[in-house]
Amino acid sequence: MSGPAGQVSPPRSHHAVHYVNRTGWLRAAVLGANDGIVSTASLMAGIAASGAEAGSILLTGAAALVAGAMSMAAGEYVSVSAQSETERADLAKERKALAQQPQAEWEELRDIYVERGLSADLAGQVAHQLMAADALAAHARDELGISDLSRPRPVQAALASAAAF
């Protein structure tokens, strides 16, 4: 970019906020809210249909909310932790491949960029520059689809799910 009098302006960092940053906790919250409404209302309706008194129905609802929130939180935590462990294993495998066969890994990255529409020459240059800067980050993002934006956060998912329940 050119600034005043033809001077080159320093590159600007991308600071826009996008919704993709929220998908982990939002997904957990939506699932938790849906499960909380359906399961708790169903249980309370069943208890009410049995002829139970209002106090028993309310106590059943409160117990269902506590048990459901704990169950949803535990489920989300385990699920997202498993995803995180899988990503760590993939990154370890990629780190090893980069150390043992850097040329093959460069070719793989270049081919990814060619498939996305770059010419082979430009794709090779991009792969070279990105690998020189941070080879593992380039492969994590473009080969494995792993980025800091989508990094699994088990505690955040568990809390969102429990709170929404």
pLDDT, tens only, 47-69: 999 999 999 999 999 999 999 99
pLDDT at 1 over 60: no
pLDDT at 141 over 70: yes
DSSP string, 56-114: HHHHHHHHHHHHHHHHHHHHHHHHHHHHHHHHHHHHHHHHHHHHH-HHHHHHHHHHHHH
Size of the chain, expressed as the number of residues it contains: 165
Higher pLDDT, 18 or 143: 143
pLDDT at 45 over 50: yes
Higher pLDDT, 104 or 152: 104
Across the range 126-150, mean pLDDT stands at: 93
Higher pLDDT, 99 or 21: 99
Are 157 and 30 spatial neighbours (Cβ–Cβ below 8 Å)? no
SS3 at position 134: helix
Across the range 135-155, mean pLDDT stands at: 89
pTM passes above 0.75: no
pLDDT at 126 over 90: yes
Rounded to whole angstroms, the maximal C-alpha distance in the chain is 83
Q: What is the pLDDT of residue 32?
A: 86
Q: What is the pLDDT of residue 20?
A: 60
- One-letter amino acid at 156 equals Q
